[in-house]
Amino acid sequence: MTDPILRAVHVEKTFAPPQHGGAGVQAVRSVDLEVQRGEFVALTGSSGSGKSTLLHMLGGITRPTAGSVWLEGVDLAALDDAKLAVLRRRRIGFVFQRYNLLPELSLEENVALPLVLDGVAGTAASAAARVALEKVGMAHRASHSPDALSGGEQQRGAIARALVAAPALVLADEPTGALDSVNSRLVVELLHRLVEEQGQTVVLVTHDPGIAAAAGRAIRMADGRIVSDIVRAESRVAAGSPTP
């Protein structure tokens, strides 16, 4: 087996108790996880089971209280804040449930953001953004403000941004949570294409059993732990047909 692109070793996250008493929350308890390059992982579980928290730790948005996360052989704990930021902009793409785009910028500028942050010249960055928007079928709305886009269009824009820097890993937290079924299908379709055509790795949090079933690997969490981890031989049994 090749080196995993992503490796989590005994990661735990305990949220400190609030100041005015009460117990702390153990959101993630000792999770071990390896994700191979090109895998499409669906992360499921009931609300509050720790999916988002785990995803945030995998993406370097928050640090585990115990254990370690390795991305492409690099221990995230060894990186300082600035290096972590650079890593996020180059190697990871994020798609959140909503508020993905900055209302201050046009769609194209939003997509180009990781490149611009990385010092890529304006014209090159916007050319790349165009290409990415092309892939998600949103090129015709490039100059629009996010306020003018529908939820599904916004999410497609967010996916374009997640892949513009050709990151190794795309992390998506319920990207279809706020979408109708048609748009959900479109978005999931796009994520699958990333894996197939570009060899990227996707970890996707979802409540939707249909989407989970279409993933190459489905991990179920409960109470902060991984309770099942199923790798399917042949992926995309029912690609793009999430149940409503």
DSSP structure class, residue 16: P
Q: Contact positions toward ligand ADP, by CB under 6 A?
A: 15, 25, 27, 45, 47-53
- Give residues 45-64 in contact with Mg ion (rule: CB under 5 A): 52
Choose, by CB under 8 A, the member of 117, 139, 166, 222 that binds another protein.
117
**How far apart are alpha carbons 126 and 162 in whole angstroms?**
14
Q: Which of 11, 107, 113, 221 binds another protein (CB under 8 A)?
A: 113
Please state the closest distance from residue 56 (CB atom) to ligand ADP, in A: 8
Contact with another protein (CB under 8 A): which of 18, 122, 199, 209?
A: 122
Picked from Mg ion, another protein, ligand ADP, none, the partner binding residue 209 (CB below 5 to 8 A depending on kind) is: none
Beta strand residue intervals within 16-102, DSSP E = 25-35, 40-45, 66-71, 74-75, 92-95
Site for another protein contains 137 (CB under 8 A): no
Helix residue ranges, H only, the chain: 51-58, 81-91, 107-117, 122-135, 151-164, 181-198, 209-214
State yes or no: residue 116 binds another protein (CB under 8 A).
Answer: yes
Considering only the stretches 55-63, 136-144, 190-198, 212-220, report the one whose residues sit in contact with another protein under the rule CB under 8 A: 55-63
Residue identified by tokens 């996916």 is 159
Q: Nearest Cα to 52, choosing from 61, 228, 38, 37? A: 61
Q: How far is CA 34 from each of CA 5, 9, 10, 37, 72, rounded to the nearest angstrom?
A: 8, 9, 11, 10, 11
Q: Is 234 a residue that touches another protein (CB under 8 A)?
A: no
Residues that bind Mg ion (CB under 5 A): 52
